[in-house]
Amino acid sequence: MARTPEHFGTLDYIEEMDNILNELDGLRKSLGRYERKERFTITKAMESIRALRARSKRHGLRLGILDEEDL
């Protein structure tokens, strides 16, 4: 199994991922239409981070670190 960070599945980890997503979204929106390739790359990175965030949530719920109320 792949190694995961110690805080994987915690609320802090999920909030950190949310902050990264917000920063990337702001950067993506600031790019003009001539940087379409860069916008696409940032969008793909955001999709990957969202997948990691969802996996982290499931991991936290499964281990009992998170409750449904935390999310």
The confidence score (pLDDT) of residue 68 equals 79
What is the CB neighbour count within 10 angstroms for residue 66? Answer: 20
Tell me what the mean pLDDT of segment 25-48 comes to.
Answer: 95
Tell me what the mean pLDDT of segment 9-24 comes to.
Answer: 94
**More reliable by pLDDT, 18 or 3:** 18
Query: What does the chain come to in residues?
Result: 71
d(CA 17, CA 35): 24
Burial of 13 per CB tally in 10 Å (0-12, 13-18, 19+): buried
DSSP state of 31: S
Tell me what the mean pLDDT of segment 11-30 comes to.
Answer: 95
The confidence score (pLDDT) of residue 71 equals 64
**What pTM, to 2 d.p., does this model score?**
0.84
DSSP helix/strand/coil, 54? helix
For the chain, the structural domain boundaries read 11-64
